[in-house]
Amino acid sequence: EPEVTQTPSHQVTQMGQEVILRCVPISNHLYFYWYRQILGQKVEFLVSFYNNEISEKSEIFDDQFSVERPDGSNFTLKIRSTKLEDSAMYFCASSEARGDSSPLHFGNGTRLTVT
Amino acid sequence: GQNIDQPTEMTATEGAIVQINCTYQTSGFNGLFWYQQHAGEAPTFLSYNVLDGLEEKGRFSSFLSRSKGYSYLLLKELQMKDSASYLCAVRDHLRGATNKLIFGTGTLLAVQP
């Protein structure tokens, strides 16, 4: 069964550094998402991406965050200057179509630790 | 505003049946999803409801009442491997053209022998 893949599985970085989290969505999917989950808390929406542009973003997704689809397969999340509170599990997800019944398929996540 | 409520924790016995409730208040509604999440892993899709009623899928069933803003996930013949968090999520369609899901805090289910 096709799956969303994310790399790296764990990233440790120092405060103020830039990080890029990578994702390869399922190949025939058209909608892409980033979510984050701080330890012990709920899964929070960050951003959705369709047709090579951001379609919606949350209040969390401020100027320090950006997303990109640099080629036909990768989907990246960049945090320009990391803060301690950015430590979380970051999940990439994709969905097949805009149809209401299309579930989001999640990758295994990247655990980001900012020290 | 958006609000999705679930019990924080539940405990059940292997072989038994458990019902996990979810209530929601969202500005739009276009479907309710249940996901399972084992510790440290990704959420995996379990079920989808958009019309009132019960959807059955093997040992798992999900019910929706749109007028009451209420859903439940029913797990039958519980197995130890069912110990996980169960996330209720709503597709809110009023804001923009995305398919994003809004998640509740999840219910941590512990299955005991």
Looking at residue B5, its amino acid is: D
Per DSSP, A89 falls in state: E
Nearby residues of B1 by Cβ (< 8 Å), 6 or more positions away: B25, B27
Q: Residue B2's pLDDT is what? A: 78
Nearby residues of B76 by Cβ (< 8 Å), 6 or more positions away: B17, B59, B60, B61
Residue-wise pLDDT tens digits, B58-85: 999 999 999 999 999 999 999 999 999 9
- Asked if A33 and B100 come within 8 Å (Cβ–Cβ), the reply is yes
- Asked if A55 and B43 come within 8 Å (Cβ–Cβ), the reply is no
Q: Report CA Rg, chain A.
A: 13
Residue-wise pLDDT tens digits, A23-59: 999 998 989 999 999 998 999 999 999 889 999 999 9
> According to the per-residue pLDDT averaged within each range, which of A70-74, A76-80, B1-5, B100-104 is highest?
A76-80
- Asked if B97 and A101 come within 8 Å (Cβ–Cβ), the reply is no
φ/ψ (deg, to 5) at A48:
-125, 155
**Token couple for A53:** 């542009």
Give the nearest partner residue to B45 out of A43, A48, A105, using CB atoms: A105
Q: Residue A1's pLDDT is what? A: 73
